[in-house]
């Protein structure tokens, strides 16, 4: 276990031994979760870009909602759906 100090800006330095063990390097991302007074850090794995032959591309544009702006208003549409679902209860 290591103890680190949080700076005025909320920053902390991960000890070198921990960074080496988890292979954390400059520009890596960590996810943080809090439960009670416990904070969990996890290294976010590398994401590979989809290749042009990935089958997911066959599905792009196949949706039947008829809505053309889903990519820009995705959160608004989700919220509207949740509101409708809650009102039905």
Mean pLDDT score, 4-22: 93
Alpha helices in 23-59 (DSSP H): none
What the block records as the tokens of 65 is 């909602």
| Mean pLDDT, rounded, of the chain | 85
Residue 19's contacts (CB-CB under 8 Å, 6 or more residues apart) are 25
Separation between Cα atoms, residue 47 and residue 3, nearest integer Å? 31
Predicted confidence band of residue 37 (pLDDT cuts 50, 70, 90): very high
Question: What's the pLDDT at 76?
Answer: 84
Q: Residue 68 pLDDT > 80, yes or no?
A: no
Q: Residue 5 pLDDT > 80, yes or no?
A: yes
- The domains of the chain, with CATH numbers, are 9-45 (2.10.260)
| DSSP code for 65 | S
pLDDT in tens, 22-32: 999 998 899 99
Enclosing H/E stretch for 84: helix 70-87
């Amino acid at each position: 276990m290591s103890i680190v100090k949080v700076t005025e800006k909320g920053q902390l330095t991960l000890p070198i031994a921990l960074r080496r063990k988890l292979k954390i390097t400059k520009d890596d991302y960590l996810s943080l979760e809090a439960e009670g007074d416990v904070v969990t850090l996890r290294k976010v794995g590398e994401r590979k870009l989809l290749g042009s032959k990935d089958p997911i591309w066959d599905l792009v544009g196949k949706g039947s909602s008829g809505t053309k702006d889903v990519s820009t208003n995705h959160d608004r549409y989700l919220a509207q759906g949740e509101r409708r679902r809650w009102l039905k209860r």
